[in-house]
Structure 1
Amino acid sequence: MSSPYAKELEIAQLAVQRAAILTKRVFHEKAKGTVSKDDKSPVTIGDFGAQALIIAALKANFPADEIVAEEEAAQLRDDAPLRQTIWDLVSTTQLSDAAAESALGGAIKDEDEMLTMIDHGASKGGAKGRIWAIDPIDGTKGFLRGGQYAVCLALMVDGDVKVGVLGCPNLPVDDAAPLTGSMESGQTDEGKGCLFSGVLGQGATSRPLTTGSLAPEKKIAMKAITDIAAATFCESVEAGHSAHGDQAEIAKKLGITNPSVRMDSQAKYASIARGAGDIYLRLPVSATYQEKIWDHAAGDLIVREAGGAVTDIHGKRLDFSIGRTLANNKGVVAAPVGGHPQVLAVVQEVLSLK
């Protein structure tokens, strides 16, 4: 525990793993036949429950730290049945994960405390101090269809990401498993579930998700691109999240013939970090849209620690110091360090044609 951020890493891993357990329970118990994110949807239940568990762990161990998170508890204060449903999940998940509870401390004691924990996520972010960014369920539609989603947590210190953890319950445990379109639906739990981690300057790792203590970790690294035409690239499932047409044109100009793999969430960052894919493109679909920091902080660090480069379409590093959004950036281009300049050049060429 002597390396920098060792305690933060351990708490983050255990907290994300426990939150991932809750989301899997929500999917299996609540998500059958659900296709929307209405107020009582499994996503709503899972979002609130996972956020409460993660924040409770952070506040027990790092009480002075600020937290930027997606949800707030006002809706639950006005909806007793929904609040009770979420509390039942939170309380039983805490009881069932004794190993994490012992290490994390700070068990949530009742519904009121659960609401208080959720509302601790209201920090405005910024360039000063220690700030955690949480996305309790990144990839709403992936979660609902049994495809890819992620539980995301990152620590920023003075605006710089120092620790990142991604829980990806539906990615294959095998780091060498190739990316396929079938990863986006019809998942079973067999052979699935990974926890990815990175600490600035210390590399990136993966380990299987468990329901107890942390499993042994393995170092991960991006594949070096020797032939860009043989690369595989990831993109968002939703056309509203990323410009599919531009991305197809970029792939064509790079000579890439492999079909793109579309998946939701920061599972894309995790997939290229361990070499299952090569390039992740998220190109702007709107001149005014600003990405949320919780959608990128953990994945950005993990890819960079695995030997990748992550920039926006202008070649600038992602800037997490502005607030709750990446206001200084447009889009994301992630690739191995050696291939990133070539990919970025083609991205800029295609986008400048408009």
Structure 2
Amino acid sequence: MVYEKELLVAQLAVQRASIATKRVFHQTAKGAVSKDDKSPVTIGDFGAQALIIHAIRKNFPEDKVVGEEDSDTLRKNDELRQQIWEVVQNTKLEDAEAEKLLGGPLTSESEMLDAIDYGKDEGGGRGRIWALDPIDGTKGFLRGGQYAVCLALMVDGDVKVGVLGCPNLPIDDSAPLDVKIGENANDEAGKGVLFSAVLGQGATSRPLGTAGLQPGKSIAMKNLTDVSQATFCESVEAAHSSHGENAAIAKKLGITKPGVRMDSQSKYGSIARGAGDLYLRLPVRKDYQEKIWDHAAGDVIVREAGGVVTDIHGKRLDFSIGRTLRDNKGVVAGPKGVHDAVLSVVKEVLGV
């Protein structure tokens, strides 16, 4: 199987990082700080990034990584750095062979900081580059909602492997989305999903475990022919997508079900397995550029599940031009059978 080792390392690395994020969530103090863009960063973000990049460097030392975080804050904050180091030290898979494959434990705080900073690559259209979001949906994570640990491998600008760890989604692929899924979620029994895909080889889901990989099964988009029956997903944060325009689009399409607001690329995973149908992320500013780590894994998972992912102009998402999707505006993802109809209405409402 092409990219067999890459897929296995990515799945296990995301699973181990997901364990770290769950441990951090259950701590009373999550150690949130603020970056320049005012979004919260937690111990879980830094810890997950260090663990995943460590595994990538041990297995694929020539590969580059485009990650969301850097260690500047940690180098100035001894207390926060110590908290993250404790999480990194104490997070292990309950499987010796899996741990060995991931490169074993990090040996020092210095190695941890270097791993985090290895994610500063600028990306581009040549070579092997991993796109990493250690906690996508940090605000959802902080409030106990949906979040995802996201990792994708791009080769010459094309996404080949994608993995999403979604600790608060129900394991049952057939569990329908409801309007409360983005609120007060938790990782109780029956929750925690690992989505993955390799280009040309289909998409799968499996329960998140604590050791090796759990058995997986193929997933597919719902075969939707009547768009009025669709369930659509949108971001919780109004700053990420226009709720008003989403509602106008739903009305024109005859959709009467309320939109499901949830954080992170868990939306991609949810529609890929047929729990939802459409994902709309409409631009709120002309100058806003989506980050590649917010979409790369979800993009390939949805497409391998039989769906279509484009921007509002109908163009494929272009991951080959750096850290952002600067040649794309917004995201429209859904089943092949209705994507053109949805895109037409999106263009009409947005005046494109």
TM-score interval, normalised by the smaller of the two chains = over 0.9
Where does residue 232 of structure 1 map in the other structure? 231
Q: Does structure 2 conserve the Cα–Cα contact (< 8 Å) formed by 1:43 and 1:144?
A: no
Identify which of 23, 27, 30 aligns with 1:29.
Answer: 27
Where does residue 178 of structure 2 map in the other structure? 180
Where does residue 329 of structure 2 map in the other structure? 330
Residues of 2 paired with 1:55 and 1:318: CA distance? 24
Tell me the percent identity.
70
Residues 114-150 of structure 1: CA distance to partner in whole angstroms, max 9, x if unpaired? 0110010010000000000000000011101111000
Identify which of 127, 148, 162 aligns with 1:129.
Answer: 127
TM-score by length of 1: 0.95
Residues of 1 paired with 2:75 and 2:96: CA distance? 28
Letter in 2 for 1:17: Q
Residues of 2 paired with 1:138 and 1:334: CA distance? 18
Pairwise CA distance, 1:80? 1.4
Residues of 2 paired with 1:187 and 1:291: CA distance? 26
Per the alignment, in what secondary structure is the counterpart of residue 184 of structure 1?
Answer: coil
Pairwise CA distance, 1:305? 0.2
Consecutive unaligned residues of structure 1, counting only runs of 5 or more, are none
Pairwise CA distance, 1:102? 2.1
Q: 1:139 to 1:217 in 2, by over 3 A?
A: same
Where does residue 349 of structure 2 map in the other structure? 350
Q: Does structure 1 conserve the Cα–Cα contact (< 8 Å) formed by 2:146 and 2:185?
A: no
Where does residue 309 of structure 2 map in the other structure? 310
Q: Does structure 2 conserve the Cα–Cα contact (< 8 Å) formed by 1:172 and 1:191?
A: yes
Pairwise CA distance, 1:94? 3.0
Q: How does 1:56-67 map to 2 (within 5 A)?
A: 56-67=54-65
Task: Name which of structure 1's ranges 174-183 and 154-163 shifts more when overlaid on structure 2.
Answer: 174-183
Residues of 2 paired with 1:204 and 1:320: CA distance? 20
Identify which of 83, 86, 89 aligns with 2:84.
Answer: 86
Pairwise CA distance, 1:38? 4.0
Pairwise CA distance, 1:185? 2.3
Q: 1:169 to 1:31 in 2, by over 3 A?
A: farther
Letter in 2 for 1:262: R
Count, aligned residues? 348
Where does residue 250 of structure 1 map in the other structure? 249
Pairwise CA distance, 1:298? 0.2
Where does residue 102 of structure 1 map in the other structure? 100
Pairwise CA distance, 1:97? 6.0
Q: Does structure 1 conserve the Cα–Cα contact (< 8 Å) formed by 2:94 and 2:211?
A: no
Residues of 2 paired with 1:101 and 1:137: CA distance? 21
Residues of 2 paired with 1:274 and 1:339: CA distance? 16
Per the alignment, in what secondary structure is the counterpart of residue 137 of structure 1?
Answer: strand
Residues of 1 paired with 2:237 and 2:98: CA distance? 35
Where does residue 293 of structure 2 map in the other structure? 294
Pairwise CA distance, 1:220? 0.2
Where does residue 320 of structure 1 map in the other structure? 319
Q: 1:78 to 1:31 in 2, by over 3 A?
A: closer
Where does residue 271 of structure 2 map in the other structure? 272
Residues 21-45 of structure 1: CA distance to partner in whole angstroms, max 9, x if unpaired? 000000001358x8x6547x99421
Task: Name which of structure 1's ranges 62-71 and 183-192 shifts more when overlaid on structure 2.
Answer: 183-192
Where does residue 168 of structure 1 map in the other structure? 166
Residues 50-73 of structure 1: CA distance to partner in whole angstroms, max 9, x if unpaired? 000000000000000000001111
Pairwise CA distance, 1:226? 2.0
Q: Does structure 2 conserve the Cα–Cα contact (< 8 Å) formed by 1:43 and 1:143?
A: no
Consecutive unaligned residues of structure 2, counting only runs of 5 or more, are none
